[in-house]
């Protein structure tokens, strides 16, 4: 199998990548400990590409990276690429977001377009010489609730409500979330490119 370095030290993210890439002949590995990649891009796509290319160049192996976050329409797309840095803890980030939105809407399950939001995920795959091989982006549309609902997930999951599922991300099973999430959609978009790449490389 061909080694593929994932730009993370997070076991959960590595496991999720393995799930989405299970049909391909990649042997996923953590990126080297201590390797720091500064996310200087202005978009999710730029940051994903930057991470994948720098990890590939550093290791001399194929590398994959993602960058994701929450965009709230009423906040002009904030927190966006700064989603993970919007507070020190998940609770801090949720409270800051709810405070920024203010007391808009009264019905938890029908909060309306004024609280519309989307999770965005960009994925990039880089060749061993650091050149970008392919990339894709996925989106999951939803709304921001006024109070958290559900015990699962992480980050903003308890306040991100998906109308089509009538649940928040935190109320969905892991399997369902993986299937409908922004990351799941990004991998669906990336799949045809990966199939072409697999044919090109002959594995």
In tens, the pLDDT along 36-71 reads 888 899 999 999 999 999 999 999 999 999 999 999
φ and ψ of 19, to 5 deg: -60, -50
∠ at Cα 36 (38, 19), nearest 5°?
A: 95
d(CA 187, CA 194): 9
Task: Specify the pLDDT at position 198.
Answer: 84
Which residue among 67, 90, 113, 157 is the active-site one?
Answer: 67
Nearest to 81 by CA among 139, 120, 118: 120
CB 83 within 8 A of CB 90: no
In tens, the pLDDT along 99-118 reads: 998 855 544 444 456 789 99
d(CA 19, CA 21): 6
Q: Write down all domains in the chain, each with its CATH number in brackets.
A: 2-201 (3.90.950.10)
Cβ-proximal residues to 144 (8 Å cutoff; 6+ apart), any chain: 72, 97, 98, 101, 111, 115, 116, 117, 159, 160, 161
Cis previous bond, 79, omega within 30:
yes
CA 166 to chain centre: 21
Tell me the whole-structure pTM to 2 decimals.
0.89
> Does residue 16 surpass a pLDDT of 90?
no
Q: Which residue has the tokens 């490119």?
A: 193
CB 169 within 8 A of CB 181: yes
CB 160 within 8 A of CB 119: yes
Please indicate whether residue 92 is annotated as part of the active site: no
Nearest to 43 by CA among 13, 69, 5: 69
CA 8 to chain centre: 12
Cβ-proximal residues to 83 (8 Å cutoff; 6+ apart), any chain: 68, 69, 70, 93, 155, 156
Task: Specify the pLDDT at position 126.
Answer: 97
In tens, the pLDDT along 63-80 reads: 999 999 999 998 989 999
């Amino acid at each position: 199998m061909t080694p593929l370095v994932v730009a993370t030290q997070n076991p959960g993210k590595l496991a999720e990548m393995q799930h989405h890439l299970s049909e391909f002949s990649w042997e996923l590995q953590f990126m080297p400990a201590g390797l720091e990649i500064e996310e200087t891009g202005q978009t999710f796509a730029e940051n994903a590409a930057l991470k994948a290319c720098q990890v590939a160049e550093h290791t001399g192996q194929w590398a994959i990276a993602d960058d994701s976050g929450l965009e709230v329409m009423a906040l002009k797309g904030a927190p966006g690429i700064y989603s993970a840095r919007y507070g020190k803890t998940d609770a801090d980030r949720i409270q800051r977001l709810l405070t920024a939105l203010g007391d808009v809407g009264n019905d938890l399950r029908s909060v309306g377009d004024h609280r519309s939001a989307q999770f965005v995920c960009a994925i990039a795959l880089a060749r061993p010489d650091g050149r970008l091989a392919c990339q894709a982006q996925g989106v999951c549309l939803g709304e921001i609730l006024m109070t958290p609902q559900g015990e699962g997930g992480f980050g903003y999951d308890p306040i991100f409500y998906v109308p089509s599922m009538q649940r928040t991300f935190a109320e969905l099973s892991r399997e369902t979330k993986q299937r409908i999430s922004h990351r799941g959609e990004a991998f669906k978009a990336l799949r045809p490119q990966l199939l072409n790449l697999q044919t090109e490389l002959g594995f």
